[in-house]
Structure 1
Amino acid sequence: MIEATDFRNAMSSLTTAVSVVTTQGPSGVYGFTASAVCSVTDNPPTLLVCMNHTSRSHGHFVENKILTVNVLGTQHEQLSNTFASKLSVDDRFKEGSWTELATGAPVLEDALVSFDCEIEQIQQVGTHSIFICRVVAIKQSQQDESLVYFNRAYHQVGQVQFS
């Protein structure tokens, strides 16, 4: 049997993009920092997003049935920490500039890329829900440096342009 601590320690060696995942709808506006996001297929364009059942915003994502995955650039380390904190929803969204695309979920204006999605399926696995999300709109920036999480710390990945 693999202990949860051993698994978490091993997973810290898996480099992942850092995203702020947002929703807005009848249940209100909410957001959280996530590293468990990946593509499923490009036909139809589909992502999966994992979220802990115990998250205070979990039920709101389930009820709203939409979300936007805002992939963070290197300038967003503080924003990532804000959305991972215990701050109120209002305080979280004071940081950053927000707009929207097709679903109405908050889109970070200067995100590396934003995937606006409708939640099509929800699977329960252990402590988490897996949201299977159909991408209905994409907003991509011209940035080329991404914020990633590796070995329990933020790092930058990407091409530095020299003139």
Structure 2
Amino acid sequence: MLKSQATPDSAATGAAGPDAVLFREGMSRVTAAVHVVTTDGAAGRAGFTATAVTTVTDGPPSLLVCVNTSSRSAQALLANRVFCVNTLSSEDRSLADIFAGRTGLQGQERFTIGEWETLDTGSPALTTSLVSFDCRISEARIVATHHVIIGEVVRIRLGETKPTLVYQGRHYRTL
């Protein structure tokens, strides 16, 4: 039997939809690629692990990234106006934990693990990533607790083809 919390007419009456706990549980069942989003510039070098990354359009090529407004990395990214989306392979699982804040490494210390280079924007690009999308912010806005940031891709670096790191059911998996 399927579980549902919202009633069919809740949207029409303006009643609140499903609660946050149910929403998070539902989203935990959606498989998503794992990325490390990085930035560098006058506001400093920063990065975070993200699954909320998606393509917007291919003309011009652009990506959408979501990050919590309370994140120090979000503030640096917005101030620098550039970022790089590094899609992780299963071999880079430890970097996902590092940039998610699960290891105790902070700020610049995070970049001591892995091999990094820079592309056009100066944002760190992981040399072992499956792909790195180097972007300049074209639009950003706050939606509830998160910044929704759209970046125009200025350069793409393709890495080796290998198994992808994904997140599903609150665990890393390989695809």
TM-score (norm 2): 0.88
SS state of the match for residue 75, structure 1? helix
SS state of the match for residue 27, structure 1? coil
Give the one of 111, 118, 121 matched to 1:93: 111
Q: Structure 1 CA distance, aligned partners of 2:45 and 2:72?
A: 12
Matching of residues 41-120 of structure 1 within 5 Å: 41-85=57-101, 86-120=104-138
Point out the structure with the larger strand share: 1
| CA apart distance, 1:90 | 2.0
| CA apart distance, 1:144 | 2.8
Identify the residue that residue 132 of structure 1 maps to in structure 2. 150
Q: Which amino acid aligns with 1:42?
A: D
| CA apart distance, 1:143 | 1.8
Q: Structure 2 CA distance, aligned partners of 1:30 and 1:56?
A: 8
| CA apart distance, 1:124 | 1.1
Identify the residue that residue 9 of structure 2 maps to in structure 1. none
| CA apart distance, 1:23 | 0.2
Give the one of 4, 8, 15 matched to 2:31: 15
1:146 aligned onto 2:158: no
Percent identical among aligned pairs is 44
Identify the residue that residue 54 of structure 2 maps to in structure 1. 38
Paired residues in the alignment total 157
Q: Structure 2 CA distance, aligned partners of 1:148 and 1:90?
A: 25
SS state of the match for residue 54, structure 1? coil
| CA apart distance, 1:154 | 0.5
SS state of the match for residue 9, structure 1? helix
Q: Which amino acid aligns with 2:48?
A: F
Q: Structure 2 CA distance, aligned partners of 1:145 and 1:94?
A: 24
Contiguous gaps of at least 5 residues in structure 2: 1-16
Q: Structure 1 CA distance, aligned partners of 2:138 and 2:40?
A: 16
Q: Structure 1 CA distance, aligned partners of 2:168 and 2:62?
A: 25
- Which string of whole-angstrom CA distances, capped at 9 and with x for unpartnered residues, describes residues 33-60 of structure 1? 0000000000000100000001122211
SS state of the match for residue 129, structure 2? coil
Contiguous gaps of at least 5 residues in structure 1: 158-163
Identify the residue that residue 122 of structure 1 maps to in structure 2. 140
Q: CA-atom RMSD, angstroms?
A: 0.8
